[in-house]
Amino acid sequence: MLKVTQVPQQVAVEETFYIEGIASTEHIGKNLVLTVDNRYQFPGSVVKPDGTWRFAFRFLQQGDRAMEVAGSGEQIGFKILVTPTNPKPPSSPRLSFTTIPAMMMAEERFTLAGEAKDYPDGSELVILVDGKYEIARPRTSFQKWSTLVFFHQPGQRVVELVGSEQDRARVTLNIQPPRFKVSVMTRSTWINSPTPARIAALQPRRLTLHHTFMRPTLAASATVAQESQRMRDLYADHVNGNGWDDVGYHYIIMPSGRIFEGRSELRRGAHDVINDGLGIAFDGDYTRNTITEAQYQSAVQLCALLCYRCSIDNPLTLVPTPTDTFGTRLLPRIIGHRDRVATSCPGSEGGRTIRMEEIRQAAARLLRG
């Protein structure tokens, strides 16, 4: 697999820009070759151990340019428009979008970036979608801004960058349907406040499964209203009880199979001490009882989606993993709380009650397609 994650649609002559992407493990350490207009070849980008790669490039002539990145028998093509001078959007002299990915899918995170001319470092900008939903608050640095975003719904979305009432920039993004069909009850289903922006940003490296241990476990026939109340109880437990900034987990799977969004995926969670990944909890106590079939099915779909979004190609691969209690261990990228911390979570018997190994294997199969 070879994929472009970042490429500008338009650049100016003599402007240095980057083409970034990811590649699957067989490409690691190998050279990729960039071909321009089917003629000019530029070797040089080596796929890094984490599977990322990057070309720095600069055009000397304007025009519509055909690009291709190739390696190990795979190639990916795209176009870049090279303009005589760096164009500014007429509506906004100071703010602009410069980086928009070639392909954007719902339920998949990607980076938007641009310029913020004359803004002091650390200025806060707001990104609004469809004129009403706030999805990010990037801060400026060296007169640029950059932020991770993701969309739940596919379709044409109007994205607006707001610095002040007078200073705005706008683009329309075409968000493709998601690769995995996972329906998530968004955070607004159960609470009005967003995850506080003061919590550190997260680039998830793995998934950790939990059970909430809240008793009694809800019935599989519970209504959305009852489950929403349950989310508020869990929130109160974590925020008022533990003194945390937000509910600890990123996703909670109810016995009905419905998945609730907890803490924003873009923020570091509070669930396995190290917190370098996403926390997914089965709601209830699975010390003796097993999860429902609906919970199992939702967990497999959700884990596959999150692995895909976090560029985890194979969740079965063992990687050195820091833990709280056991030093560094070789673990797969979908783990249980108990793999990192001396706890019985999620449930007992080595994860059998939550079907740990089955979830891991089924998510890996889905990812392989």
Of 67-75, 114-122, 242-250, 339-347: span binding Zn ion (CB under 5 A): 339-347
The binder of Zn ion chosen from 280, 345, 354, 362 (CB under 5 A): 345
| Shortest reach from residue 272's CB to Zn ion, in Å | 7
Residue 279 or 315: the one with the smaller Cβ distance to Zn ion is 279
| Shortest reach from residue 277's CB to Zn ion, in Å | 12
| Shortest reach from residue 287's CB to Zn ion, in Å | 12
Beta bridge partners of 77: 68
| Shortest reach from residue 346's CB to Zn ion, in Å | 6
Residue 27 or 263: the one with the smaller Cβ distance to Zn ion is 263
Q: With contact defined as beta carbons under 8 Å apart, do 305 and 369 qualify?
A: no
Q: With contact defined as beta carbons under 8 Å apart, do 246 and 196 qualify?
A: yes
Sequence-distant (6+) residues with CB within 8 A of 193 are none
Residue 210 or 238: the one with the smaller Cβ distance to Zn ion is 210
| Shortest reach from residue 268's CB to Zn ion, in Å | 16
Helices in the chain by DSSP H: which ranges? 224-236, 293-309, 356-368
| Shortest reach from residue 210's CB to Zn ion, in Å | 3
Q: How far is CA 255 from the centre of its chain?
A: 25
187 lies in the binding site for Zn ion (CB under 5 A): no
* Cα distance from N-terminal residue to C-terminal residue, the chain: 12
210 lies in the binding site for Zn ion (CB under 5 A): yes
Of 132, 190, 186, which Cα lies nearest the Cα of 159? 132
338 lies in the binding site for Zn ion (CB under 5 A): no
Of 11-19, 250-258, 303-311, 332-340: span binding Zn ion (CB under 5 A): 332-340
User: Considering CB under 5 A, how many residues would be counted as binding Zn ion?
Assistant: 3
* Rg of the chain over all Cα atoms, to the nearest angstrom: 22
Q: How far is CA 263 from CA 198, 287, 335, in A?
A: 13, 24, 19
Q: How far is CA 356 from CA 248, 276, 347, in A?
A: 20, 19, 10
Binding mask 95-134 for Zn ion (x = CB under 5 A): ----------------------------------------
| Shortest reach from residue 289's CB to Zn ion, in Å | 16
Binding mask 282-321 for Zn ion (x = CB under 5 A): ----------------------------------------
Spatial separation of the C-alpha atoms in residues 156 and 130, rounded to whole Å: 9
337 lies in the binding site for Zn ion (CB under 5 A): yes
| Shortest reach from residue 46's CB to Zn ion, in Å | 39
Residue 238 or 337: the one with the smaller Cβ distance to Zn ion is 337
Of 173-181, 296-304, 334-342, 357-365: span binding Zn ion (CB under 5 A): 334-342
Of 118, 182, 124, 119, which Cα lies nearest the Cα of 150? 182
Q: How far is CA 58 from CA 5, 31, 41, 61, 273, in A?
A: 18, 19, 13, 9, 44
Residue 178 or 269: the one with the smaller Cβ distance to Zn ion is 269
Query: If you count DSSP H runs as helices and E runs as strands, how many of each does the chain have, helices first?
Result: 3, 23
Interface residues with Zn ion (CB under 5 A)? 210, 337, 345
